[in-house]
Amino acid sequence: MQLDYNNPESSAYDYCFLTTACTVAMKATAHGTALIEEYYRVAAGIVSQVGICTNEQEICSLVYEDMIVPVVALTEAGKLDEALANYAEYTDWMKEAFTAKPIR
């Protein structure tokens, strides 16, 4: 499966950190669907908090390189369980760093 995803330089990245292509792959499992639901509950708060950081672009680049690229690569390689685990772990870190509670 070939996935298209946003670069942190694009305007779409300003509003989310989970790409549409990733949600399609994630919906294939109950765990992925639960992660998507949690994403919609926490993403706006995370993005809002990142947006007020003086190093916002560095954070966006870090998320892109350390979460988006590896998760997409794992998904493309057919390793969806590993991709979901990486996504959940990274999102937990983001939630702890930029909001109140981890998602798991």
Q: Tens digits of per-residue pLDDT, 56-70?
A: 889 988 888 998 889
Q: What is the tens place of the pLDDT at every residue in 4-51?
A: 444 444 443 444 555 566 677 788 889 988 988 888 888 888 888 888
Cα of first residue to Cα of last residue in the chain, in angstroms, is 28
Q: What is the pLDDT of residue 17?
A: 59
User: What's residue 47's pLDDT?
Assistant: 86
Ordered alpha helix ranges (H), 1-104? 20-26, 30-51, 56-63, 69-76, 80-98
Q: Average model confidence (pLDDT) for the chain? A: 78
The predicted model gives 82-97 an average pLDDT of 90
Q: What is the pLDDT of residue 102?
A: 47
Q: Which tokens hold the place of 10? A: 């694009």
Sorted by where each begins, the domain ranges of the chain are 17-98
